[in-house]
Amino acid sequence: MNYYKRFRQLRYRKDARLAADTPKQILWIDEDMLEGMTLGRSMRRVLSTVFPETPPIVHSGHEGAIDRLLESSYIFIILDNDLYRGTAQGPGTLGEIKKIDEETPIIYTTSMPDEINDDIRGRVSEVIRTNDLPRRMAELIEKYSKEE
C-alpha cells in the first residue's frame, strides 16, 4: 500500500465533500449490478422509469469499490452481501469502506437479513432484503438526502 498516495486520495475526498457544487450520487456495490448483468439492466430501467428524479447511481463490484468511493461524495452507499460459494464479499468491503469513510450512510442488502450478525448491523445504517430495495429506493433517497 502506498500511504502517500492514499493520503492524497483522502485529502482530495475531503475537499470534494466540502465543495458545494459536487454532484451527489449513490454508490451501489453489487456484483450483480455491473453493466453486463441482466439484473443491473432491469434495475436501471425500473429506477429511471419509476423514480425519474433518482440521483445518478454509480455501480461498482467489490474489487473497484474503494476507487469509486474516493472519486466522489455520495448520498449513501448500497452494499450487497454478495454471498458467493459460501463466502460473503460484503463484510470485507464494509471494513475497507469504514477505514476511509465513517460518515456516509451504508445500506447493507442481502437475501437473508436474519443471517447478518450484530457486528455488521452496528456498522451500517440499515440492513434490508435485496428484493425490497427497488420498492424502498425513493424512501431511502428522501431520508438520507435530508441528513446532509
Give pLDDT tens digits for 72-102.
889 999 999 988 767 888 999 999 999 999 9
Question: Helices (DSSP H) in the chain: which residue ranges?
Answer: 3-18, 38-50, 65-71, 90-100, 118-123, 133-146
| 29 touches 74 (CB < 8 A) | no
pLDDT the model gives residue 36: 56
- Domains and their CATH numbers in the chain: 3-146 (3.40.50.2300)
**Beta pairing class for 25-29 and 106-110:** unpaired
Q: Is 84 helix (H, G, I), strand (E, B) or coil?
A: strand
Of 36-45, 113-122, 132-141, minimum mean pLDDT range: 36-45
Share of the chain above pLDDT 70, in %: 70
Instruction: Quote the pTM value.
Output: 0.78
Cα 16 from Cα 79, distance rounded (Å): 22
Cα 130 to the center of its chain, rounded Å: 13
pLDDT the model gives residue 66: 92
Mean pLDDT of 40-63: 74
User: What nine digits make up the cell of 107?
Assistant: 445500506
Q: Is the pLDDT of residue 9 over 70?
A: no
Average pLDDT, the chain: 79
Q: Is the pLDDT of residue 141 over 70?
A: yes
Cα 57 from Cα 111, distance rounded (Å): 21
